[in-house]
């Protein structure tokens, strides 16, 4: 039997909708909910400090940050960047992706991979110029919609998990398909890759198994890891590559 989860240190209350995403930035926690609310929480006082409004009341899918910039993705088809102005957060840029699905963004430094209006396409944007650098090409046979994506740390490779259970790596410089694998018969719901230490990745679907793979040029399966409950919505590799967390 797995060990029981530890009790929470503190419970933060205030969102009126379901919380979809969270991001730690130093001693602040940012959370986004299904009704478009974005809150920042002071983790020393456990009080809400800011309320950000920028996605027309649509669900917040993902929150990230790069240096002093906060990044939010909503189901209104936009990705917005925010900068601190005194004691307030103000929108500094808007990327119009027109994406209406629930595939979350992935970023590295000043680059961000986003879903697009065509549900199979992932676009790579430069956050500084707010322009698209490249996009994944239309596949010869439809893999269904893009369910998840991971932009590797050096910005050279984009991993995309699809509705048909396939996982594809793309050259981020030109959008060319590099390798394809089919780890699952059901949609690939989440993926992460450690391209700094162990050069291995992990992805999950709606089953009880996680698939461990390596080599972005081949996407070779290494092994399967079984868990107790069905289904995964997110998976993450710790920065040192030693621990994987799933949800």
User: Looking at 72, 96, 120, which one is the last position of a domain?
Assistant: 96
Which percentage of the chain shows pLDDT scores above 70?
99
Residue tagged 């990745």 (tokens): 201
CATH code of 45's domain: 2.40.10.480
> Is 241 found in the same domain as 132?
yes
Whether residue 5 is predicted with pLDDT greater than 90 in this model: the reply is no
Q: What is the mean pLDDT of residues 34-54?
A: 95
Q: What is the mean pLDDT of residues 193-208?
A: 91
pLDDT at 1: 54
Whether residue 81 is predicted with pLDDT greater than 60 in this model: the reply is yes
Whether residue 117 is predicted with pLDDT greater than 90 in this model: the reply is yes
CA 154/CA 156 separation, integer angstroms:
6
User: Looking at 49, 73, 96, which one is the last position of a domain?
Assistant: 96
Q: Model-level pTM?
A: 0.92
Confidence of residue 128 (pLDDT cuts 50, 70, 90): very high
Q: What is the mean pLDDT of residues 126-132?
A: 95
Q: What is the DSSP secondary structure assignment for residue 160, as one 8-state letter?
A: E
Instruction: Report how many domains make up the chain.
Output: 2
Q: What is the mean pLDDT of residues 134-162?
A: 95
> Is 246 found in the same domain as 159?
yes
pLDDT at 198: 83
CA 149/CA 122 separation, integer angstroms:
8
> Is 236 found in the same domain as 123?
yes
pLDDT at 15: 95
pLDDT at 2: 64
Half-sphere exposure at residue 133, Cβ-oriented, CA atoms within 13 angstroms: 20
User: Looking at 75, 96, 117, which one is the last position of a domain?
Assistant: 96
> Is 109 found in the same domain as 210?
yes
Whether residue 229 is predicted with pLDDT greater than 70 in this model: the reply is yes
> Is 66 found in the same domain as 48?
yes
> Is 137 found in the same domain as 112?
yes
Q: What is the mean pLDDT of residues 187-212?
A: 93
Of 3-12, 29-38, 42-51, 180-189, the range with the lowest mean pLDDT is 3-12
pLDDT at 187: 97
pLDDT at 70: 97
> Is 41 found in the same domain as 111?
no
Q: What is the mean pLDDT of residues 42-49?
A: 95
pLDDT in tens, 213-227: 999 999 999 999 998
CATH code of 212's domain: 2.130.10.10
Under 8 Å between Cβ of 219 and 205: no
Where in 103-234 does DSSP place strands (E)? 106-108, 111-115, 122-126, 131-135, 146-151, 157-162, 167-171, 177-181, 190-194, 200-204, 209-214, 220-226
Write down the mean pLDDT value for the chain.
93
> Is 118 found in the same domain as 92?
no
pLDDT at 243: 78
> Is 26 found in the same domain as 107?
no
- Residue-number span of the structural domain to which 140 is assigned: 101-247
Q: What is the mean pLDDT of residues 32-49?
A: 96
Cα radius of gyration (the chain): 18
> Is 89 found in the same domain as 193?
no
């Amino acid at each position: 039997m797995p060990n029981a989860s530890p009790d929470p240190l503190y419970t933060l209350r205030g969102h009126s909708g379901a919380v979809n995403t969270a991001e730690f930035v130093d001693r602040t926690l940012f959370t986004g909910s299904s009704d478009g609310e974005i809150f920042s929480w002071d983790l020393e006082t456990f009080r809400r400090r800011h309320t950000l409004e920028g996605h027309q009341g649509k669900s917040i899918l993902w929150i990230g940050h790069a240096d002093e910039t906060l990044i939010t993705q909503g189901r209104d088809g936009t990705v917005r960047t925010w900068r601190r102005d005194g004691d307030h957060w103000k929108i500094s840029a808007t990327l119009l992706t027109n994406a209406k699905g629930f595939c979350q963004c992935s970023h590295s430094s000043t680059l961000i991979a986003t879903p697009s209006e065509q549900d199979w396409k992932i676009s790579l944007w430069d956050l500084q110029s707010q322009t698209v650098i490249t996009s994944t090409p239309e596949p010869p046979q439809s893999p269904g919609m893009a369910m998840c994506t991971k932009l590797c740390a050096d910005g050279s490779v984009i991993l995309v998990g699809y509705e048909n259970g396939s996982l594809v790596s793309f050259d981020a410089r030109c959008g060319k398909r590099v390798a394809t694998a089919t780890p699952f018969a059901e949609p690939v719901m989440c993926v992460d890759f450690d391209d700094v230490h162990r050069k291995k990745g992990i992805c999950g679907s709606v089953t009880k198994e996680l698939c461990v793979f390596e080599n972005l040029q081949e996407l070779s399966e290494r092994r399967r890891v079984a868990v107790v409950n069905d289904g995964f919505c997110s998976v993450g590799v710790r920065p040192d590559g030693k621990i994987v967390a799933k949800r």
